[in-house]
Amino acid sequence: MGQSKSSLLQQEAKVKNWIIAISVVIPLAVAVLLFMPAKITSMGEWVYFLPHLNAVINTAASLALILGLVFIKNKKYSYHGATMTVAFVLGALFLVSYVVYHGAAESTSFGGEGAIRTLYYVLLISHIVLAAVALFPILFAYYYGYTDQREKHRKVVKFAYPIWLYVSVSGVIVYLLISPYYTH
């Protein structure tokens, strides 16, 4: 019995190392793509559709997150797990699409003025900062939920869930505010 617990602890230590590595590497890679001087232009015009797709993915992820909360409040654990997995997969798809877009296309400038400009940048900056740190607690929350470590899951979710939901919803709002300024 002690051997299997030791083995489980070793496995968890490896998973934690992976989560930490992923949580550092992905935001750094995104930052490099956003600020690299030359974009990968060989991808073609199709990449200009990706911000619109990303908004749909973020909207669906937001709905899955809200449904996940409703299901857990109603003790529908299997539905909760399924909707959170959908949100997790949608988040991964969004990330791939986001990386492809920002690797190939110049960032769009926001053209609004006055209070809407202030609102846009407050939302955008808070969205970016929280998105950069969100991966760490989200991955731990998902891992603990997936491995049925409910006490650890509950502790991490207190932080992970509101950050994840905010990042997802604010991403949609930022898109809605900037979408009139897309040139493609």
Confidence of residue 158 (pLDDT cuts 50, 70, 90): very high
Percent of the chain with pLDDT over 90: 63
- Please indicate whether residue 24 or residue 40 has the higher confidence score (pLDDT): 24
Kindly report the pTM of this predicted structure. 0.86
CB 71 within 8 A of CB 83: yes
Alpha-carbon distances, residue 58 vs 16, 31, 35, 179 (angstroms): 26, 20, 23, 14
Output the CA angle 95-176-57, nearest 5 degrees.
Answer: 30
Instruction: Outline where DSSP puts E strands in 20-157.
Output: none
pLDDT computed for residue 152 by the predictor: 94
Question: Could you give the domains of the chain?
Answer: 2-181 (1.20.120)
pLDDT computed for residue 1 by the predictor: 43
Average pLDDT over residues 102-131: 92
57: which 2 tokens? 């993915």
